[in-house]
Structure formats: structure tokens, C-alpha cells
Structure 1
Amino acid sequence: MSRPQHFGWFLARGFGPQGWGYPSLEWDYDWTRPEIYQDAARTLEQAGFDLVIIEDAPSLGSPSTIDLRVRHAFGGPKHDPFLLAPYLFQATRHLGVVPTVNPAAYLPYTAARQFATLQHLSGHRLGLNVVTDTGSARHFSAAPQLGHDEAYDRAEEWLDGIRALWRSWDDGALLADRETDVYADGTRLRAVEHRGEHFDFDGPLNAVPFTDGDPAIVSPGGSGRGLGFAGANSDVQLALAPLNEKSVRDYRARVHDAATESGRRPEDIKILFAIQPVITPSAEEADRIVAASAHPDDAALVQIARKQSSDLETDLTSLDLDRPLDLSVFGAHVSRGSIQRLIGDRGEEAPLRAHLSALARAGRISDRTGFVGTAEEFADLIEELGEWGNDGVLLWGDFHPVTLHRTLDELVPVLRRRGILRREYADGGLQTNLRAF
């Protein structure tokens, strides 16, 4: 039997219009109501998933690109994922729920108290996907926008401060002794006087300690500074990398080295590689989809350009498809990693059409050129990743029932028969289940 791996779902495009732009919209689910998200969470828990990560961006972007981002609902609207989390916890018993949070949007004391409250109410199933997006900074203060590495420095100070507040009740502070009528020993609460570069606040925190660990910290990002942050702080690293043996092993080694440098054990971090598979009923259907993607028409390229324009906050739809892509069109706030994913190894001299065509092109799971294939072929890939030491995968998609069932209906039975996907959860919350194997 194969080694079990951890599975998560990345709620792409966030807490927003589920199914927009697809025929499945005609099911008439109301994305502003909690029911569609609760149904999806129950499905993931039935499937044995460890966690769902809810993507978010608090901003609609720069004023010049707002219309571009909302016209096709690629970049908004998005509601607050932290306020969706209680509904998902109410609908499930074991699934970890991980809203995306930006340190710029939460003062440390308020954040520590709110997160602690939800950690207790959820049975210790809360996670926090800590992102360092700086494009939304103008919504929270008039301070100058931070650079890439400085934003990570702020996130690290923020998280260190929150953890200090969570732990401001020393061992023995909480007594709850009915015989002596003493609830807590105030002499065992620490003041936590924090005076930092980005935040000033005092403790102790007005919330009791956790019994089954802090909320799990999740982080994305593949830059040197991003991996350093993960090594020092994260329980789960959301990984984006080519899924060949060398790339997977190299990426894992970089994260593990960062953990060791921070005095942590490599096994303290679960690395989940993000995959968006297209599960087909037969190999023949997979071949048909791949062949059809090899020659996208201009309409298909414009659709891809719309999504990329939203992600990159740059209107690619106004550019000539047959001219080289001038990288100066991207503002300083645009992630260098996002730009690199667009241009790949084709270089700046390649026309925009070549970049978009490459994104449109699908590949087969069976020959490891892509992620289109049968459930059995996908399970083969997961087993191969396991042989390289992988901890698990993160599947992408919205929360529309059609999306989940199209991906999972055939896949879950195959993964379980092979012993890759859990059948039972451990007691004790998200951290406990992440450490189960």
C-alpha cells in the first residue's frame, strides 16, 4: 500500500462569484449565501481532505485596472474569508479552514484575540494563510508601500507579536479550580510590551491558552525571503514548482534548509504542491482535450489574457498579440514570480501570443507534460511524488458543486484504494492531523 499524503483544496478566486463565466452558473447557486460553501466543506471532509485554503485579496487593485478586474469577476468582488470560516466550521467536524490574512489589515492585538477566539470555537481547526501583498496597502494607511522583502519583515514581526500574545498566559496561569474558586493566577500573565519597527502594542492577551496548538500557519511564495519566512514560521508551505523529481526535491531541500537555519525540524513543515488537474473518464478523452489545446484561437487567448491581466493588474488585452511583451508595462508592485510564470523560459523577445498560447496548452498526466488524465493516472502521479518524499498536494478550484464533483467523484475512490488518501481523522484539530503522517 502507498504512503498516505495530505490533501488540501485551494478556493481559487476567493469568497466571490462561484461559477461565474462557466455553464455551471445556470445551477443558480447564490454565492453570497453560506450554503454553497458549507456543502463544499462537507464534501471535502467526506473525501478526507485536511484543509481548505480560502484565497483573498482585500483590494480591487489600482484605480486604472479596477474595471478590468471586476468586468469578468477575475479579481473581485471578494468578501472577507475570515467571516466565512465560522460557517464552514459549523458544517464540519474535522476539516481545517484557512482564511487568507494580510498583516497590513490586522493590528496584532486584535488579530491575536480574534484568531484565538475562532481557534477555540472551531475545536482547534483554524489556519492562517499569511500573505504579504503590498498592493492593498493604500486601503489601510497613508504610509508608503513596502517593498517585497520589507513586507515579509513586517509579516514576521506581526506573527512573532501575535504568538507572544497567544503565549502570554504561562503554564499554570489558567487554573479553573472550583474547590478554591480561583479561575486564573494573574501573577503568571506576562505584559508583552512590544515596540517594533512596524507595530507597538502591549499584552497580556484577553483570551485563554490553546489546548491543541496554535492556529496552523500557511504561507505561499518561492522567493528566498518567502522560503525563509516559511522555514521560520510555517506549518504548511503552498508550493508552486514543476513536478519533476529534481524540481520537487530541490524545492523541498530549500524549505527544509530554511527550517533548519531557524532551529526547526524539516518535518515541522508540510509542503503541498499546488495542482489543478482535469480528471477525464478515459485516456481517449484526455488525448482529445490536449490536442484541442494545442492551437488556441484568438478568443481563447483573450480569455487567458483577461485572467492574467487581473492577476498581474496590467491590461494585457490592450496589447498586440504579435509583438514582444515589454516588461516595463508591469508596475513595481507586481510579483516578479507572477511575471516569470507568464513568460516562462521563452524570454522577453517572444510575442505575447506565444506566452498566452503556452498557458492555454494542456498536457497529459501520463507523460508528465501536464495534468489532464484519468483518476488512475493522477493517482500514479501522486504515488510518484510520494516516492520523492512529498507531503501532499493542494488542488485548485472554486467551490461550485460541479467543480468539486467533476474533480473528486472518480478520484477519491482510486486514491483511497491505493492508501494515499486518509479515511479517518485524528482527534485534536488541524495541527494534530497534519502531524498524523
Structure 2
Amino acid sequence: MSRLQHFGWFLARGFGPHGWGHPYLDWDYRWTSPELYQQSARELEQAGFDFLLIEDAPSLGSASTIDLRVRHAFGGPKHDPLLLAPYLFAATQRLGVIPTVNPAAYLPYTAARQFATLQHLSGHRLGLNVVTDTGSARHFGDAPQLDHDAAYDRAEEWLEAVRALWRSWGEGALVADPASGVYADGSKLDAVRHRGEYYAFEGPLNAVPFTHGEPVIASPGGSGRGLGFAGANSDIQLALAPLTEKSVRDYRAKIHAGAAARGRRASDISIMFAIQPTIVASAEEADRLVAASASPSDETLRVIAQRQSSDLETDLTALDLDRPLDLAIFGDHVSQGSIRRLTGDRDPASTPLRAHLAALARLGRMSDRSGFVGTADEFADLIEELGEWGNDGVLLWGDLHPVTVHRVLDDLVPILRRRGILRRELVDGGLHANLRAF
């Protein structure tokens, strides 16, 4: 029997030049204006998606890779998704919006107050994708760059501090009684004097408490420390893992173990596996695309190297395609998950760079679980199988150009609904309510 799944859309390109490098640029949408994003957000809400999550990277990268990131707009420019969120809330009624935020960029009190404001303005539909991008830290001060685990330590302290401020209005502090003329009881506010390793500040927060829960917390991260952070703190975990039964069940078990270690329940976290599908009209078309990708040209490999250079903040285009990849070229700030996406299960010491890039270029079929090219029915088969393994939901990965959204969803939504996998409408009560609706 089919099982309802949660669906989110991951705006993987961030708030950047949508359509650049694609024929649909000539639709003449302006990526700097809200209309493009508002139109697609309305379509996602109509489709029954729980939320839209917007990637971000405040930095244009290191000096050696800035040109790579901006020349073809792979990694920049990007505008601030937090400031896009109010336009998306105004265009929708129930869709959750989850901009990416970096603790290095926000002092806890400023963060708590701004996010509380957006939570109220949106009808409790705000989420925060908390990332620990250490490469951006130099833009926010001259403190030494933290290593991978220390950045998670700071993020954990930051989130604990923000939540303490959100909770600084105790039970009964907000009275709002016109008859008595009393708006609030100051004796029930907590001063929240915080003195930690990374932050020092005092409360209470100058914002009223929430009526339908705090902003939802999402997090990526596949390292042991990242999975531990998610288990302890997150309502949504963005999962990247091979979609085999063992891999899915093992991944979920790690997150749930992290939750149990912090006194949380497994049901407190929605684990969403990220998929970038290519939905086509027929099995024959899918076979053709897969076959065409089997022997990528050097030009195709060069484009992939440019994209990977942007993600890894390391210039792969200057390397010899036929020599093994020396992992020492990657700085400590580079995500281990990003490196693993490049190298897969191949031995970097003996595998030429060409083989890594070619593996990224090659497509696979949904029908045999070798990839994500297939028909809408084949995609629905995959989602049903994930549901049988206890999966909570799926995060579709793509840009937010209306052409992309329709290309993925036009045939897919009716089939998912007929099979009982995708809800027909969202519920009232904010993002938390929709995540807990089933």
C-alpha cells in the first residue's frame, strides 16, 4: 500500500542567475526580481510540497577560484535568500520557506529577533537551513578560520543561544489583556545571560513568543559530526546517500541514534533524501539519454570540472585529466561530502581525474536503480520503494526557473497523487504542522 511522503524543493543554485547557460534564459525572467521565484513557489504550493529550501553561500570563494565561480555563474553571484523569503511568503499561504543561514554571519540576538519576526509575519512557515561553511568566515571578522568540527561546535552553541532567546518569554509572560490594560508580565521574562566559548550576550528577546512553534531547523552534512548535529538539533535532515535499502536504513539509524542520545524521538526528525530526477516522456527516451552519456567528451568533462571547482573551491580545470587526484589539494574548509561526491567509491590514489568526472557525467536509469532518468511512473515506483523502507520524504533538487519546475512536475504530480504518495493540499498551522500531518 502506498504511503504519503513529504516533498520539498531544493533550490540548489541559490538566489542567483537562473536560466544562465540554458536556452530558457530567453523567457526573459529577471533573476534579481521576486516574480520568478514567486511564480514557482505558487506552483510548488499547488503541487502539495511542504517547503522550498534555498541554498546559499555568502562567499565567492578563495582568490584562486573566484573567476571559476562567476565566469559561468556556477557558484556566484548570489543574493541573500533570507531577504527573498518575505516575497515568497506574500505569494503563498501555506508553503514553508527555508533559507540557508550561516552562524558566522549572525550574532545570536540579531538572529533570534530577525527570525522571530519572519516567523510571525509568515504565519509560522519559516525554516532555517543551518550550515557551517567555514570558507565564508573571513567576511565576518578576522578571527582564525575554524576547522570542520569546531564550526559545528560553534553552530551548536549558536542554535542553543537563539533558542534560549526565543524561549525567554516564559509561560504567562504575554498577557495581552485589554480589560486590565496589561500587555506583558515582565517578571516572567528570562534575562538569558549567555557566556559561551564563541558568544556572549544578554536577553531577554524583544519579540513576542510563537503560537505555532519555533522556526523549523534543517541541516545538511554527512560527516559523523554533521549527523550528530542533525540528530540533536534538526527537524529536517537533508540526506545524500545511495538509495539502496541498506544505505537508506543505515543512514536513518545514524540520525535516529543521534536524536535518542539527546533525548529526542525518531519522529522528531523528517529525513529527506535529495534527488535530482530527469523526468522524460518514455522509457525509450530515457534509454537514449543514458546511452548518450556513456562516453562523455572532453568538453563535457571540462564543464563538469568547472562546476566541481566551484563547489570544492579548488581549481580542477588546471589539473591533468589523466593523473590521479591528490586529495591534499583540498583545504580543511572543503566539505568531505563534496569530496566524496566527486570521488565516489573509487580510490583517489590510483584513479585519474578523468574517471571521476566521467562518472559524474554518466546518467543512469530509475528502472534499474542505477540513476535518476526515467518516466513519471518509474519515479513513483522509486518513491514507493523508499516509503517501504520507512522513508519520510524526498527533496527534489533543481533550480527554480518555472521551465524547470514544470518540466519535473507536470506529469509527476498527477501520478504521485493517484498512487497516494503526494498530498493534495497543505494544512493550516505553519511548517511544523505540515511536517507532522502524517
Global fold match (TM > 0.5): yes
Structure 1 CA distance, aligned partners of 2:159 and 2:215?
Answer: 11
Structure 2 CA distance, aligned partners of 1:374 and 1:420?
Answer: 16
Verify: 1:193 aligned to 2:204, yes or no: no
Q: What is the match of residue 354 of structure 1?
A: 355
What is the CA-CA distance between 1:359 and the residue it aligns to?
0.3
Structure 2 CA distance, aligned partners of 1:399 and 1:256?
Answer: 31
Code of the aligned partner of 1:30: R
Question: How is 1:123-142 mapped onto 2 (pairs within 5 angstroms)?
Answer: 123-142=123-142
Q: What is the match of residue 38 of structure 1?
A: 38
Q: What is the match of residue 395 of structure 2?
A: 394
Q: What is the match of residue 243 of structure 1?
A: 243
TM-score (norm 2): 0.99
Structure 1 CA distance, aligned partners of 2:345 and 2:107?
Answer: 41
Give per-residue Cα distances to partners, 1:355-387, cap 9 Å, x unaligned: 000000100000000000000000000000000
Give per-residue Cα distances to partners, 1:290-323, cap 9 Å, x unaligned: 0000010111111101100100111111111111
Question: How is 1:11-30 mapped onto 2 (pairs within 5 angstroms)?
Answer: 11-30=11-30
Q: What is the match of residue 422 of structure 1?
A: 423
Is the CA contact 2:116–2:166 (under 8 Å) kept in the aligned structure 1?
Answer: yes
Q: What is the match of residue 374 of structure 1?
A: 375
Is the CA contact 2:148–2:332 (under 8 Å) kept in the aligned structure 1?
Answer: no
Q: Flag as ranges the 4+ runs of structure 1 deviating above 3 A.
A: none
Q: Structure 2: which 5+ residue stretches go unaligned?
A: none
Structure 1 CA distance, aligned partners of 2:333 and 2:218?
Answer: 22
Is the CA contact 2:47–2:425 (under 8 Å) kept in the aligned structure 1?
Answer: no
Give per-residue Cα distances to partners, 1:94-118, cap 9 Å, x unaligned: 0000000000000000000000000
Code of the aligned partner of 1:369: S
Code of the aligned partner of 1:355: H
Question: How is 1:35-74 mapped onto 2 (pairs within 5 angstroms)?
Answer: 35-74=35-74
Name the SS of the counterpart of 2:390 in structure 1: coil
Question: How is 1:84-163 mapped onto 2 (pairs within 5 angstroms)?
Answer: 84-163=84-163
Structure 2 CA distance, aligned partners of 1:21 and 1:99?
Answer: 24
Structure 1 CA distance, aligned partners of 2:375 and 2:159?
Answer: 41
**Identity score, percent:** 78
Q: What is the match of residue 178 of structure 1?
A: 178
Structure 2 CA distance, aligned partners of 1:95 and 1:402?
Answer: 20
Structure 2 CA distance, aligned partners of 1:343 and 1:239?
Answer: 18
Q: What number of residue pairs does the alignment pair up?
A: 437
Structure 2 CA distance, aligned partners of 1:346 and 1:80?
Answer: 36
Name the SS of the counterpart of 1:99 in structure 2: strand
What is the CA-CA distance between 1:336 and the residue it aligns to?
1.8
Structure 2 CA distance, aligned partners of 1:313 and 1:190?
Answer: 43
Structure 2 CA distance, aligned partners of 1:248 and 1:177?
Answer: 51
Give per-residue Cα distances to partners, 1:38-79, cap 9 Å, x unaligned: 001001000000001000000000112111110010110000
Q: What is the match of residue 296 of structure 1?
A: 296
Q: What is the match of residue 228 of structure 1?
A: 228
Is the CA contact 2:174–2:185 (under 8 Å) kept in the aligned structure 1?
Answer: yes
Structure 1 CA distance, aligned partners of 2:21 and 2:398?
Answer: 13
Code of the aligned partner of 1:370: G
Structure 2 CA distance, aligned partners of 1:420 and 1:216?
Answer: 23
TM-score (norm 1): 0.99
Q: Structure 1: which 5+ residue stretches go unaligned?
A: none
CA RMSD of aligned residues (A): 0.7
What is the CA-CA distance between 1:332 and the residue it aligns to?
2.0
Moved more, 385-394 or 416-425: 416-425
Q: What is the match of residue 386 of structure 2?
A: 385
Moved more, 420-429 or 131-140: 420-429
Question: How is 1:266-345 mapped onto 2 (pairs within 5 angstroms)?
Answer: 266-345=266-345
Q: What is the match of residue 7 of structure 2?
A: 7
Q: What is the match of residue 207 of structure 1?
A: 207
Give per-residue Cα distances to partners, 1:142-189, cap 9 Å, x unaligned: 000001110001001000000000010001000111110100001001
